[in-house]
Structure formats: C-alpha cells, structure tokens
C-alpha cells in the first residue's frame, strides 16, 4: 500500500505547542514542500493584503478609510461639533485593529488641512501637514480636531436603510458596512494609491462636476466620448497637464498610462525672480529645491543666485532669485527638463470588483459603479417599501377600530388581565397581533374619532406610494432617473472649478540642450589604461609632449565636435554612451578623465575603442581572434531613452582584435594579419552587412594549426610593397605568407591590449 503523503501543518496552535515542547530540540525538521509552504502560509497573506488592505473598492475607499469614516458617522460627527482626533482614533480601533498611528495617518490624508484630496472627507482644525511637503509633519492627535465634511452626507445616504451589507467587526461586538453607499463615483473623484503583493493601484482624481456629468452621459449613452465631459484628471495641487488627447484616450481605455504635469509659476521682472505657486501632485517642495540646488552646483543653472521655500499660511511658494540678464522663460524650460517641476503621474486603475482586482478603463469603472449604485437604490427602495407596507397594515387595523371606538374601549376596560387585552382586541375586531398591539399602545387622550380619522386619512396616499415604489423597482429606467437626479444635485451642491489647467504640448516651449552648449572642434585621445584626453585645437597646436603615466600610452585619437555623442567600447562587450561635452577640456599636462570611474565601469573593465557621432550614420567593422569579422550599422546603438550603458554591444564569443569606423559610402581596402605571419587584403564590402550588433559575422581567415587573427587596419595606413599579392576575393580565405620582414604602420594602430 503506497505511503500516504504528509499533510502540511494547518493548526498554528498545535505547531507552536510542538516547537515549545521540552523535547522540541530532538524533533526532526518539518518536511514541507515549498509549493505547500506558499499555498498555506504566503497566499493567504497576499490575498489579505490585496482584498482587505491596499486596493480600493468600487465605492472609492479602502477598508481603513471606510472604517474611519463610519466610526465618525456613528459618533455623530456629520454636522456635529469637532472632537479631538485622538478620540476618533480610539473609537476607530474597535473596527480597525492596526494601531493608532496607522489610523491617524489615514485620517491625516483625508483632511482638508493636508490637501491630499480634491474633495476632502474630513473637516480639520490644527496642523495636519501638507501633501506637497516631505518634511512638514502633522501635529499629534491630541492637539488636532476633526469632524466629517458636508460632502459625507452623500457618502452615508441610505446606509440606515439597508442600502449595503453590514458585517461583524473583528471581534463580533459591532457591525460595520462592507461598502459605503456613495451617491457619486467617489472612486474617480479622489486620488487613491495602494501597494499590494504583486500588484498596485494608482488612481488619479477627477473634477467632481465633470465626473457626475460624464456618469450621466454614460448612463444615457454608453458609446459617448467621455473626454468631452471629463477631459483630464484634476489634481488637488493644481499645476498644468500637458494635454495629449490621444494619450488621454488611451489611459481612459486601458486604465494605464502616464500623465505629464508641470508646475505653475509667476515672473516678477521688477525684482528679477520667479515664484512657483503650484507643483505636480507626485512630488514635494523639498525634492524640487534639492533638484534645483544640484543643478546650480553642477553648473547647469548659472542664472540662479538663490532659491528658498516661502510657503506660509497663504499657500505654497518657492522663490528663485535670478542673476541680471536672465531669460526667465528659457530658465523655466531648463528647470522643467532637469527637475521635478515637471513630473508624471503613473495611472494604474486597479479596483476590487466583487473581491477580485481588475484594471479598468474609466468607462468600465463608471459601468461597474452604476451597476452597484442601482443595487444600493433597489435595496433602499425595498427597505422603504417594507416600512410603508407595515405602516399600511397597522392603519388598516386602526380603520377597523373607527367603526366602533366605544367597543374597543369596552373590551379593554372589561378585560381583567393585561395579557388578555391583545387577544380580546384581535377577536373583537378580527385583526392580527401587530395591529392589536398598535391599537393598544394608543394613549387614552388619543382615543377619539378625530385622531383616528387623521391617522388613517393618508392610507390612500400610502397605497399610491407603495404602488409607485413597486413600479420603480420593476423599472430600470426609473432607477436610472433617480441616479441622474442625484448626480445633478451633487454636482450643483459640491462641484468646484478645475484646479489643474490643460495646456497643449505643441504650444509649450521645450528645453533644447544643444542651444546652450558651445560647439567647437576638438581632439579626443584614448590611452591604454582608459584615460580620455580632450584637447581644443588651439591647445593641441601649442602643446608640447602630451602627459601619460609611465607605463601608459595613447593608442587612438580623432577630431570631433563638442556636441557629438561618444560611444566607448570595453573589453567586457559593453558600450558606454556619453556626450563629448560631458567631459571638461583637458590641458596637455593632464592625465585626462579616468573613464572607469567617470562612467562607473566594473573594476576590471577597460575601454578598447571609441567613436563619436551626431547622426548615428556609419558602419562598424570588428575583427575577432577566431578569424571572423562582423560589419553592421552603428544606428543599432541609437536609443530613444537616454541610456548610458548597453550590454552585449558586440559578439562575445571571441576576443576582438580590431575596430574600424567606416562611412556608409566608403568601401576601403583592409589588411588583416594572423599569428602564422599570413596576411590578406580585401574590400570591406566582402564582409556582408548585418543588422544586429551581436552578430558573429563571417569567417575571414581559416584557422590553421591553431592560428589566430592578430590585427586589422586600413591598407592606406600600412606600407606594403605589393598589396595585390595579398588580395582575396572570396571568403573564407587562407591568406598569403608575408614577404616583407614587417608591415610597417604609418600611424597609431589598434593592437592587443593585454
């Protein structure tokens, strides 16, 4: 009989008991496969974080938000006086056991004082810090006071009419709502960020009036263009969105994408300063000041003489003092390019729908919210219907008493025992127990015909209301009408103008780095130890001996322009990209720039070749020790991102013995030599042009007796008596023995570096 598979430990208490037993040291290690370990221990934790902590639900709240707001609602803080934050925190712990500091941090972000939300839910008094400041800390909860904002009336409307499910709290002593019956799409109105396990959510805020209008239009026409009604997000910090309609449509469709936001500023030409009054929602004042300070220190913002934070009770303000003659607009385009004055908000509309995380577009979110809102309204109407039917039932019993009030009084007066009053009324007037109890509870002073007639006179209206409510429950169109009416009321009552301005990227000046960089001819040289020497043509003409280390030497050099890109190849098959202007000019007596440290190369990495280009046109020719050669265009190194390091810049299967940079229209004669003292002359085009930089190329010289390729150069750079003797016209070739004693190079050549 096969051995039964050992079940994973499921009872935590029994496991602890085993581990604390006095004989636990002799107990063998628990043999649990990693898959079972993940399933039993890790997956429940991951799902708990996703479902019960980090991802917002369709009502627009995470559990911590919902528990806090519901506690404040039950405390009577909707329309009541403010109370100490510490009081609210303590009461919230009955629903949220995560600790007082976590609860207070949640409250702080929801307050008007912190300015994180476009439409705050908590009216606050005291210091709650600021969303746009990293260092401005909030006061302790014993010093601050809070109550619910008026907007929360729309958050809790219908909660006492069974609009949402109520569940037990963590210890079963209280009830709390699963969701809050928000009457508007709060999920889109206020920003919400959360990091779960393996996923995250980042929902930006939209203008309340625009969201309500978009929801109304979507309800009547699901095919409508939502961009017409809510064109873009609206951030609490204001700023300007570089508005690209196609990009925004993509975000609305997929729920993912990036929104570029830049700061707002004013120029005071009289005092020669710039005042920044609004910054992107995703950054802070301190980060921006640090960015600008670093820019000044590096010499890239020489126009700035001082920068300071002048934020006060009137709001945010960063002041930049400029030097005389500064072009303020040009300076701001530079700051937008190099600092967080322009930043991006990364959208990830991940929402919990029926307990499952889903990344939804704006239309899908509105659709899910409308389905859920219809459910809330139906439950609320059902609750009202049951109340009205119960009231009608009681009034029907009261109407029977109207026939003979004296009889009712006589029955009650002649009944000897109190417990017999209800049964006697039921028998005397043919009514049920609920109706009899209702009649018996009427005060003596109210047992008169006028009182009873007044009470039952609304029966007809009540019947009409019941019929109308039943009709609404059967009619989705009428429920939609209720939703539309509520959305219009919310927009009219709580709507506000947009804070974030929309500007066109085409009309926005863009920083062009090349305009401020001086361009001139210069000479670059590379030494075997990896030093880069950058000399102006004038300093090179007047230079004496170029200084290098004793065991070092210059092995290549060329003329180029200061605005060119510099591509540096290393012996680790890596490519480092830089700009020539990134390196300061050197004097003839300087050793130069040590590339290993300046480009952050590996400790044992050495540059072996470099080229410069402005248009990435040209051909790179590489010969390898194994006898192969590769030819491919250098535009394979052109990248849209400003990447500084490219891995696998060329074939890594053999050591390179020579690099040549050729013009696209150039087909020079090349000469290659091997360790067997053989040589071959050939046209560069004999090696076919490939499209990938990692190509191993084609066999150039056939390896004989373990021979290897030693060198490759242009034929014009070498003194050869009879070059046609070495000419080959097909590949691979065996080459020809060298007749000359040496092949003398006319100038510096590429040789082995090790």
Helix axes 63-74, 85-92, angle to 10 degrees: 110
Mapping DSSP onto H, E and C, the string for 290-307 reads HHHHHHHHCCCCCCEEEE
Distance of alpha carbon 628 from alpha carbon 672, whole angstroms: 11
Distance of alpha carbon 612 from alpha carbon 598, whole angstroms: 18
DSSP assignment, residue 57? B
| 3-state SS class at 462 | helix
- Tell me which residue of 267, 203, 269 sits closest to 234, measured CA to CA: 203
H or E stretch at 480 = helix 476-494
Distance of alpha carbon 500 from alpha carbon 239, whole angstroms: 5
The catalytically annotated residue of 143, 520, 725, 737 is 143
| 3-state SS class at 105 | helix
| 3-state SS class at 63 | helix
| Chain position carrying tokens 């037993």 | 21
Q: Give the torsion through C-alpha atoms of 219, 224, 227, 233, to 10 deg.
A: 20
Q: Is residue 184 packed enough to be buried (19+ CB in 10 Å), middle (13-18) or exposed (0-12)? A: buried
Residues 6+ apart with CB under 8 A from 185: 60, 211, 212, 215, 365, 366, 369
- Tell me which residue of 331, 279, 330 sits closest to 301, measured CA to CA: 331
- Tell me which residue of 722, 709, 719, 713 sits closest to 744, measured CA to CA: 719
| 3-state SS class at 93 | coil
- Tell me which residue of 101, 145, 108, 157 sits closest to 129, measured CA to CA: 108
Strand partners, 238: none
As given in the structure block, the two tokens for residue 2 are 């096969």
H or E stretch at 607 = strand 607-613
* CA atoms 281, 286, 287, 291: torsion sign: positive
- Tell me which residue of 634, 473, 599, 617 sits closest to 526, measured CA to CA: 599
- Which CA distances in Å does 257 have to 191, 194, 243, 283, 606? 15, 17, 13, 18, 40
- DSSP line for 94-163: TT-TT-HHHHHHHHHHTBTTTT-SSS-SEEEES----TT-SS-PPPPTTT-EEEE-TTHHHHHTTGGGT-
Of the CA atoms within 13 Å of residue 39, those in its CB half-sphere come to 9
- DSSP line for 728-741: --SSSB--EE--SS
Backbone angles phi, psi at 447, to 5 degrees: -85, 75
- Tell me which residue of 130, 115, 128, 126 sits closest to 83, measured CA to CA: 126
Residues 6+ apart with CB under 8 A from 668: 662, 683, 684, 714, 715, 716
Q: Is 104 marked active-site?
A: no
Strand partners, 622: 630, 659
Contact criterion met (CB below 8 Å) for 524 and 560: yes
Q: Is residue 86 packed enough to be buried (19+ CB in 10 Å), middle (13-18) or exposed (0-12)? A: middle
H or E stretch at 333 = helix 328-338
Backbone angles phi, psi at 310, to 5 degrees: -110, 25
- Tell me which residue of 502, 535, 500 sits closest to 521, measured CA to CA: 535
Active site residues: 143
């Amino acid at each position: 009989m096969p051995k039964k598979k050992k079940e994973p430990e499921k009872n935590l208490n029994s496991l602890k008991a085993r581990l604390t037993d006095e004989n636990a040291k002799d107990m063998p290690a628990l043999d649990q496969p990693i898959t079972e370990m993940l399933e039993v221990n890790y997956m429940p934790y991951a799902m708990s974080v996703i479902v019960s902590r980090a991802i917002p639900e369709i009502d627009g709240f995470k559990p911590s938000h919902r528990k806090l707001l519901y506690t404040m609602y039950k405390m009577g803080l909707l329309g009541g006086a403010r109370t100490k934050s510490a009081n609210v925190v303590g009461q919230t712990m009955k629903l949220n056991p995560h600790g007082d500091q976590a609860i207070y941090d949640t409250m702080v972000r929801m307050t008007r004082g912190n300015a994180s939300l476009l439409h705050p839910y908590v009216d606050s008094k005291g210091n709650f810090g600021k969303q746009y400041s990293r260092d401005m800390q909030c006061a302790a909860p014993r010093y601050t006071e809070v109550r619910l904002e008026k907007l929360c009336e729309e958050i809790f409307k219908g909660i006492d009419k069974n609009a949402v499910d109520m569940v037990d709290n963590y210890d079963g002593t209280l009830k709390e709502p699963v969701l809050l019956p928000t009457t508007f799409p709060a999920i889109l109105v206020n920003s919400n960020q959360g990091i779960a396990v393996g996923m995250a959510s980042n929902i930006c805020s939209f203008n309340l009036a625009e969201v309500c209008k978009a929801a109304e239009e979507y309800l009547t026409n699901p095919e409508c263009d939502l961009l017409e009604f809510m064109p873009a997000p609206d951030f609490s910090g204001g700023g300007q969105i570089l508005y690209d309609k196609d990009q925004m449509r993509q975000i609305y469709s997929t729920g993912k994408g990036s929104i570029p936001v830049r700061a707002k500023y004013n120029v005071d030409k009289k005092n020669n300063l710039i005042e920044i009054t609004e910054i992107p929602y995703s950054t802070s004042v301190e980060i921006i000041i640090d960015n600008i300070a670093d820019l000044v220190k590096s010499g890239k913002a020489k126009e700035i003489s001082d920068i300071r934070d002048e934020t006060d009770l009137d709001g945010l303000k960063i002041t930049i003092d400029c030097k005389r003659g500064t072009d303020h607009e040009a300076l701001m385009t530079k700051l937008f390019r190099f600092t967080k004055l322009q930043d991006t908000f990364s959208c990830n509309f991940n929402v919990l729908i029926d307990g499952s995380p889903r990344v939804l577009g704006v239309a899908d979110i509105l659709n899910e919210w409308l389905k859920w809102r219809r459910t809330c309204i139906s439950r609320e109407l059902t609750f009202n219907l049951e109340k009205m039917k119960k009231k009608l039932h009681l009034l029907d019993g009261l109407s029977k008493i109207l026939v003979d009030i004296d009889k009712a009084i006589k029955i009650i007066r002649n009944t000897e025992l109190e417990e017999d009053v209800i049964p006697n009324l039921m028998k005397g007037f043919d009514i049920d127990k609920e109706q009899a109890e209702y009649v018996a509870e009427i005060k003596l002073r109210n047992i008169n015909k006028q009182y009873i007639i007044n009470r039952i006179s609304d029966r007809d209206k009540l019947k009409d209301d019941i019929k109308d409510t039943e009709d609404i429950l059967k009619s989705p169109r009428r429920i939609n009408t209720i939703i539309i009416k509520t959305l219009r009321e919310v927009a009219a009552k709580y709507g506000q103008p947009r804070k974030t301005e929309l500007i066109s990227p085409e009309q926005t000046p863009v920083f062009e780095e090349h305009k401020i960089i001086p361009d001139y001819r210069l000479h670059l040289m590379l030494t075997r130890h990896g030093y880069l020497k950058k000399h102006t043509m004038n300093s090179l003409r007047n230079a004496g001996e170029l200084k290098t280390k004793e065991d070092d030497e210059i092995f290549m050099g060329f003329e180029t322009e200061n605005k060119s890109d510099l591509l540096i190849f290393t012996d680790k098959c890596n490519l480092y990209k830089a700009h020539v202007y990134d390196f300061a000019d050197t004097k003839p007596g300087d050793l130069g720039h040590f590339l290993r440290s300046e480009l952050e190369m590996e400790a044992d990495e050495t540059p072996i070749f470099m080229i410069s280009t402005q248009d990435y046109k040209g051909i790179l020719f590489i010969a390898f020790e194994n006898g192969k050669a590769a030819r491919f265009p250098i535009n394979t190194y052109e990248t849209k991102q400003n990447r500084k390091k490219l891995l696998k810049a060329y074939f890594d299967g053999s050591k390179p013995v020579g690099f040549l940079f050729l013009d696209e229209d150039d087909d020079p004669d090349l000469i290659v030599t091997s360790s067997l003292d053989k040589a071959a002359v050939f046209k560069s085009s004999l090696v076919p042009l490939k499209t990938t930089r990692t190509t191993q190329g084609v066999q150039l010289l056939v390896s004989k007796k373990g021979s290897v390729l030693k060198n490759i150069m242009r034929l014009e750079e070498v003194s050869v008596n009879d070059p046609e003797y070495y000419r080959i016209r097909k590949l691979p070739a065996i080459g020809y023995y060298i007749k000359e004693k040496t092949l003398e190079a006319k100038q510096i050549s590429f040789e082995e570096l090790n």
